[in-house]
Structure 1
C-alpha cells in the first residue's frame, strides 16, 4: 500500500513537470497555416492612409532646373550653419495648428493631410515663387515605441515610410520566448486625438498584406507575457519551481509512510 502511495506521489510530480516545464512549439511559430477566424481587410499604402499629426516632422526638399534657386530655397533655413545642423535643414515640424512655416510661402496648413495631400498643398503655396519645381516630401520623424516581451524595448526609428509588424519586431530584437504571439497589441494615435487599439496574431499567416500587417509612425506596440512566465519558468525549467515541486512531493511521500 505504501509503495502505491509513493508511486502516486512521484507520478504527480512528473505530471506537474510535464504540464509547466516547456512552452509548446505551436505557441512560438510565426505565420502558421491555420483556419483563421479573423477577416483581415487588405492594406492601403501607408503613405496614403497615415494622416499627419501635430509634432510630426516632414522632410521637404525643393528641386528646380536652376541649381542656384534650388540651393536658395533649401538653404534658407540653415544659412551658414555647421555641417551637423545642415543635416536637419530640410526638416519642418507641424505645429499644434497643423501648420508648417515654409520660407517665403509662410504658414501652410496641413490639416487632414496625408503625404500626397501635403506635397500638393506645399507645391501650390510655392507657385507664386517657383513655376516649375519638384518636391520631395516624406516623413522625417517616423518612429514607433515597443515594450513588453521583446529583447530590445524602447523607441525605434522606422528605416522607411512603410514597415511591417515583423520588421518592427526584428528591429526590437524579436520576441522573447515568453511573448504572447497571438495577442500583440498596437495602440495607434488618431487625428482627432483619440486612440485605436489593434490586436495582431503574428502566428496567423493570413495577416500578411492585410491592414494589420503594417506599422504606422507613432504606433505603440505592447507584447504581453504568456502565463508560463507567471509560473517562474525560464527558457529552461526554473530551478525555483523544480525545488518547490520536489519539496511538495517529498512532503507527500513522508505523510503517506
Structure 2
C-alpha cells in the first residue's frame, strides 16, 4: 500500500512543478527600456513632432480681435434649442475628401498635411486683408486613439491636446497585462485611406526614436499575446483533460487499495 501512495504523491508533485515552469516569465520579456542606463540622455534630432490634419478631421477655429464685430463674420455659429432656451454654439470645420475646409469670406483652404501652427500662420496671412492683428485659436476635435489586445482596459480614448505618446496611450488603457508582447506592439495608421503598419519595441530605449512613438489621430494600437500566453491558451484544454485523467487514476487507485 505504501509504495502506491508514494507513486501518487510523486505524480502530483511532478505535475505541480511542470505547471510552475510553464507559467514562469523572464524579466527580460516584460521590463520597459531595460537597456537605458542611469543619467543617459537621448538628444532630439531636431525634427520636433507636430500633429498633422487629415481627411475627415473636425477642426475648431476661433478668430478674435480687439473689435468683436469685425471678427464675428469669421466665426460661424448656430442656435441650438434646449430646455433653458436657445443657445449659440460655434460651428466646427470638417476636412473634406480633397483635404479642404470652407472658411467664411476666404473660401476653400487646403489644410490636409498642415500642422495646427502652419494652419494658424496661413489663416493669419489670409485674414490680414480683413482684420488687424487677428488671434486665431485652433483645436483638433476628433483626436482619439484605440488600444486593443493584451491591455487592462481596451477601448477608444479621447486625447486632450495636440500630441500623445504610445506610453501615454497604454497608460490610458491601464498598461499591458503580464501576457502582452512588449517587443512587437503594432500601430496601425491611416493616411487618406491608406493603412500603414509599424511595430515598436518598448523594452528598448530606442523606442522613443520610432516614427510611432508619438501617435496621430485615430491610430490603432494592438498588443498581441506573448509566447507564454499563446502556449497557455493551447494547453488549457490539454490541462483540463490531463487533470480529469489524473483524478480518475487517483480515484481508481484509492478504490483498489481500499478493497485490498
Q: TM-score of the superposition, structure 2-length normalised?
A: 0.74
Aligned equivalent of 2:256: none
2:95 touches 2:101 (CA, 8 Å); kept in 1? yes
Task: Tell me: higher relative CO, structure 1 or 2? Use CA pairs within 8 A at least 6 residues apart.
Answer: 1
Deviation track 1:31-85 (CA, whole Å, cap 9, x = no partner) reads: 22269xxxx98584332xx4322101112111212233334532xx214445897
RMSD: 3.6
Moved more, 16-25 or 143-152: 16-25
Instruction: Determine the C-alpha separation between the residues in 1 that align with 2:205 and 2:18.
Output: 33
SS of the residue 1:175 aligns to: coil
Instruction: Determine the C-alpha separation between the residues in 2 that align with 1:171 and 1:126.
Output: 39
Instruction: Determine the C-alpha separation between the residues in 2 that align with 1:92 and 1:151.
Output: 35
SS of the residue 2:184 aligns to: strand
Aligned equivalent of 2:31: 29
Instruction: Determine the C-alpha separation between the residues in 1 that align with 2:8 and 2:201.
Output: 44
Instruction: Determine the C-alpha separation between the residues in 2 that align with 1:135 and 1:219.
Output: 27
Query: Cα distance 1:252–1:43, how it changes in 2: closer, same or farther (>3 A)?
Result: farther
SS of the residue 1:208 aligns to: helix
Q: TM-score of the superposition, structure 1-length normalised?
A: 0.75
> How many residues are matched?
240
- Where does 1:1-257 land on structure 2 (aligned, <5 Å)? 9=11, 12-33=14-35, 42=45, 44-47=47-50, 50-74=51-75, 77-81=76-80, 86=88, 89=90, 91-191=92-192, 193-208=193-208, 210-232=210-232, 243-247=240-244
Moved more, 22-31 or 222-231: 22-31
Moved more, 173-182 or 15-24: 15-24
Larger Rg, first or second structure (1 or 2): 2
Aligned equivalent of 2:257: none
2:74 touches 2:103 (CA, 8 Å); kept in 1? no
Instruction: Report how far residue 242 of structure 1 moved.
Output: 5.7
Query: Cα distance 1:174–1:111, how it changes in 2: closer, same or farther (>3 A)?
Result: closer
